[in-house]
């Protein structure tokens, strides 16, 4: 005779199994290659560059790393260059140290986790961050699963070509004389930023939109939204600003801001760096940090 199982007992067992699984954070493995290359600017100027990519082939856009709250990422960082490089995460307060040196043509394994959602900056700290300035800085996104948030990602940088050229040859630079003339989001300037679906904000009235902004460049970037205000969800430099509603938000060098926008009207509206030189590229307007939001 078959014994009928008690439905309550089965249900309790199932809950127990699910809880057991969810209480163990996942280990996420990823690999990035630190590559040397040349960034072709908006006017075809060649800019000596470094980037963390997902293959050993150079791409000017740094790989974006994703993990969930409390997950541990084990990241293999492979240095394909003939110079010593490094890896670090800005403002990282986790238990394990992530600040590491990577000798030429070798690799290291770092692991890290975050207890809070947000955006974080990983970068090459060696040589007074000159390789970070030359491109080697990207974004880590730590999420709580929420399918209703539309997420966009901006890795903002600025360059003065002569500085990249000098640093590339090991020639010291004087940062008091730094006047950048190229400005990018995810490696692109206007009009190409609008072709990057991770950067260009599109959506519908009533959507919940998060723009994850990291500034891995050297200059301050003050982002001005037309048409909408955004609520500050994260500000690494000014945590007390969280909750404020703004149409212009400064993002300092090596700092993070996340803006939440819920569009209340349809339209196409400009978004740009409020510092006017940053809307140019190679002295040509508007080939800089300028894009549009398209809401229907």
Tell which one of 111, 203, 208, 224 touches Cu ion (CB under 5 A). 224
The whole-angstrom separation of Cα 279 and Cα 290 is 6
Residue 208 CA: distances (Å) to CA of 113, 147, 152: 26, 10, 11
Tell me the per-residue interface mask from 168 to 207 with Cu ion, x by CB under 5 A, - otherwise.
----------------------------------------
If binding is defined by CB under 5 A, does position 229 make contact with Cu ion?
A: no
Q: Which is nearer to Cu ion, 224 or 229 (CB)?
A: 224
Question: Residue 278 Cβ, how far from Cu ion at the closest point, in Å?
Answer: 11
Question: Residue 248 Cβ, how far from Cu ion at the closest point, in Å?
Answer: 8
Neighbours of 6 (CB within 10 A): 10
Residues contacting Cu ion: total by CB under 5 A:
1
Question: Residue 249 Cβ, how far from Cu ion at the closest point, in Å?
Answer: 12
Question: Do 186 and 59 form a contact (C-beta atoms < 8 A)?
Answer: no
Q: Which is nearer to Cu ion, 89 or 249 (CB)?
A: 249
Contacts of 169 (CB under 8 A, 6+ apart): none
Question: Residue 215 Cβ, how far from Cu ion at the closest point, in Å?
Answer: 18
Question: Residue 290 Cβ, how far from Cu ion at the closest point, in Å?
Answer: 9
Reported as half-sphere exposure (CB side, CA atoms, 13 A), residue 19 has a value of 6
The partner residues of 110 in beta bridges, in order of sequence, read 75
Question: Do 47 and 64 form a contact (C-beta atoms < 8 A)?
Answer: no
Strands 202-203 vs 290-295: parallel, antiparallel or unpaired: parallel
**Stretch of 13-21, 130-138, 183-191, 223-231 contacting Cu ion, by CB under 5 A:** 223-231
**Stretch of 20-28, 129-137, 198-206, 218-226 contacting Cu ion, by CB under 5 A:** 218-226
Place of tokens 């240095």: 79
Q: Which is nearer to Cu ion, 224 or 260 (CB)?
A: 224
Question: Do 269 and 228 form a contact (C-beta atoms < 8 A)?
Answer: yes
User: Which residue lies nearest Cu ion, judged by its C-beta?
Assistant: 224
Task: Report the interface residues with Cu ion, using CB under 5 A.
Answer: 224
């Amino acid at each position: 005779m078959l014994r009928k199982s008690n439905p309550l007992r089965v249900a309790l067992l199932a809950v127990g199994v699910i809880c057991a699984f969810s209480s163990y954070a996942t280990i996420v493995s990823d690999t990035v290659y630190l590559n040397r290359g040349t960034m072709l600017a908006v006017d075809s100027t060649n800019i000596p560059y470094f980037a963390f990519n997902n293959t050993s082939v150079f791409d000017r856009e740094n790989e974006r790393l994703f993990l969930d709250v409390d997950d541990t990422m084990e990241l293999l960082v492979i240095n394909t260059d003939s110079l010593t490089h490094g890896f670090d995460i800005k403002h990282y307060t986790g238990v394990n140290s992530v600040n590491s040196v990577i000798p030429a043509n070798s690799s290291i394994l770092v692991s890290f986790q975050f207890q809070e959602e947000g955006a974080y900056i990983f970068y090459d700290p060696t040589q007074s961050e000159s390789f970070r300035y030359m491109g080697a800085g990207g974004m880590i996104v730590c999420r709580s699963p929420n399918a209703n948030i539309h997420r966009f990602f901006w890795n903002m940088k600025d360059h003065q070509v002569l500085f990249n050229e000098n640093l590339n040859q090991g020639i010291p630079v004087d940062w008091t004389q730094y006047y950048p003339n190229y400005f990018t989001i995810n490696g692109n300037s206007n009009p190409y930023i609008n072709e990057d679906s991770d950067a260009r904000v599109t959506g519908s009235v009533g959507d919940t939109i998060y723009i994850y902004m990291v500034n891995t460049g050297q200059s301050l970037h003050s982002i001005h939204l037309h048409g909408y205000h955004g609520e500050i969800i994260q500000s690494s430099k000014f945590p007390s600003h969280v909750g404020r509603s703004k149409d212009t938000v400064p993002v300092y060098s090596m700092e993070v801001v996340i803006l939440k926008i819920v569009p209340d009207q349809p339209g196409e509206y400009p978004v740009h760096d409020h510092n006017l030189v940053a809307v140019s590229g190679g002295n040509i307007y508007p080939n800089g940090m300028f894009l549009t939001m398209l809401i229907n």
